[in-house]
Amino acid sequence: MNKIPCSAPILTYNSGKTLGRCLDSLKDFEEIILLDGGSTDETLAIAKDYGAKVYPQIEGQTEGKQIEDFTAMRLRALSFTMKPWILHIDSDEYIQPELVPILRKITNQLNIDVKTVYNLPRFAVVDKRLVKHAFCYPDYYVRFYHKESGVSFRLGKLVHEQRLIPQDVKIRNLEYGICSEWPSYKGCIAKDNYYLSLVNKKFSNAQKKPAPARQLRAVIKNLFLPIKIFLVSVRLTLRFGTEESLPMRYVWRFMRYHFIIAWLRSKYFEF
């Protein structure tokens, strides 16, 4: 069977623990692009085994380095892709097998609608267990689209990249999507702390501060979000039980993140 005419650009840095499962789920795709930050573990060996094309995150890079501008790296990875369709996926994610025939059918249409892009649901895998119910569900992102759709990224977002969807583009939700393997709770906190350091860097380096009213709204929003997250999570746990719901220690992870964002924003509050 012919492979799906799609490129899957992936950002990697010492991603050996999860990369194999990710690439195995992409074996029906024509092109896998790895933009690597100088991995010293088995990442590059795994990439070679799966026939992935590997490029450096920074030209002339001689040592490993974590990403400091995720949007810039996404755009660089896209610049190496050669296929008409794009599937965005991270090295600690893998696609559900039920999704493969759906994407194949989309790309095999006689009259392909390049102005329709596809929202894929993301499901958390925590402690080797698929989380069926969480406060953040349904967790949809535009992950699959044709290059001619005009999808792009909002520049300046160092972390939590934001896709820009043209107004004439239709968004279609798919039933099956992507599973995201979370590290241990300690690993999640370390990951969050790194992202928060990038957010702090962005706030401190900003030449133009947002209007006071906008800053205040952002602070208040990030103070109230943890309350909403907690209440929704408690309701889901009581309804579906602890085996199917997001563990409360990981719920606290998100509450903590928003509390810190509120504090960081308040540090740079200007009237």
State the Cα–Cα distance between residues 139 and 129, nearest whole angstrom: 17
What is the model's pLDDT at position 235? 98
For residue 128, count other CB atoms closer than 10 A to its CB: 6
CATH architecture of 4-181: Alpha-Beta Complex (3.90)
Per-residue pLDDT at 37 exceeds 80: yes
pLDDT digits (tens, 9 = 90+) for 81-137: 999 999 999 999 999 999 999 999 999 988 889 999 999 999 999 998 999 999 999
The model's pTM: 0.89
pLDDT digits (tens, 9 = 90+) for 167-193: 999 999 999 999 999 999 999 999 999
Q: Where are the domains of the chain?
A: 4-181, 185-267
What is the model's pLDDT at position 265? 87
What is the model's pLDDT at position 110? 82
pLDDT digits (tens, 9 = 90+) for 209-263: 777 788 888 899 999 999 999 999 999 999 999 999 999 999 999 999 999 999 9
The token duo for 253 is 């992870």
Per-residue pLDDT at 271 exceeds 50: no
